[in-house]
Amino acid sequence: MLDWSHWLDAALPFLHSPLGVAIFIPLYALWVTLLLPGVWASILAGVLYGTWWGSLIVFIGACLGAEASFFLSRCWLKGWANERLKHFPKLQAVEKAVSSEGLRLVVLTRLSPAFSFSLLNLAYGLSNVSLRDYNLSLVAILPSTVMFCTLGALTGGRTSPSEMLAPEVSAWAWTFRIVGVMATVTAVWLVGRAAQKALINEEVDL
């Protein structure tokens, strides 16, 4: 039987190296471009690099992936993107509304948990939103990015997979971590709820 734990133990030092980070970023971008959910990759970044470094790495990778999806959707894959979005009526409504509303609505949809980041990139590419507004809206992914990286960092950034779930020597350390994660999740939830209310006020047919 293949010993995945041993393989991961050997891979972690490389992933922690500058070259490992340099490879992780484009891999994350590719992950997003392929419309795969970035949640688990973001949590892994938190495990490997901690909350703040992980958030920065994920943000850079997500931005690169978002740019690739946007240009592919707008320039080369319009037919494929349209077929993909037919299965998501909410995103079609967003695509039509964003074409006329611009930056404010783009930011609100970025903040709302009701929409997939990867699929939104396709919808924006099909809309008439400007590249400037699209790029500025990427700042709105930071709250959820920090949240998922914080969840990953809760493991303590240990150096081997076999140790990641080991109990912390200090119960207080785990208490502070859990409280921090709960506070982050609550803040992101409140922001998402506010964004959803604002979207309803915009009279977008969601």
- The tokens describing 143, both together, are 């709250």
Tens-digit pLDDT profile for residues 168-199:
445 555 565 566 556 556 655 665 565 566 55
Total H helices, total E strands in the chain: 10, 0
So where are the chain's domains?
A: 4-201
- Does the reported pTM lie above 0.75? no
What is the pLDDT of the chain when averaged over all its residues?
Answer: 76
* 92-143 pLDDT tens trace: 677 666 666 668 778 887 887 777 888 889 888 888 788 998 999 999 899 8
